[in-house]
Amino acid sequence: MKIDIYTSVKDGGKYLSVEKGTKLENLSLPSDIDQDLLCLSPFKTRLEIDESKEHPALDHKDIAKQIKAHKYAIHGAKITIDLTVKN
């Protein structure tokens, strides 16, 4: 599935993703949506997520599930870096 990711202008840790080419103004968002997600900026376009393959920063299965159910996904992103000191 190819997706477009938007980030909140108010909180850069909050994202809304849609299937590629989806117009945000055509979404039916719930009235109780996090207000930070009402002002968005494009973050990454045409990212391909594959439900059978892990993604290093996204919960790809949850994003795909949300998009299939609601036409959008609300999520965060994470990257874990392990550092070790070698003597």
pLDDT at position 34 is: 95
* Mean pLDDT in residue range 61-70: 95
pLDDT at position 15 is: 95
Q: What is the mean pLDDT of the chain?
A: 91
pLDDT tens across 33-50, in order? 999 999 999 998 889 998
pLDDT tens across 2-34, in order? 999 999 999 999 999 999 999 999 999 999 999
Cα angle vertex 43, ends 82, 20, to 5°? 115
Burial of 81: CB neighbours in 10 Å, binned 0-12, 13-18, 19+: exposed
For residue 9, give the nearest of 44, 36, 45, 48 by alpha carbon: 36
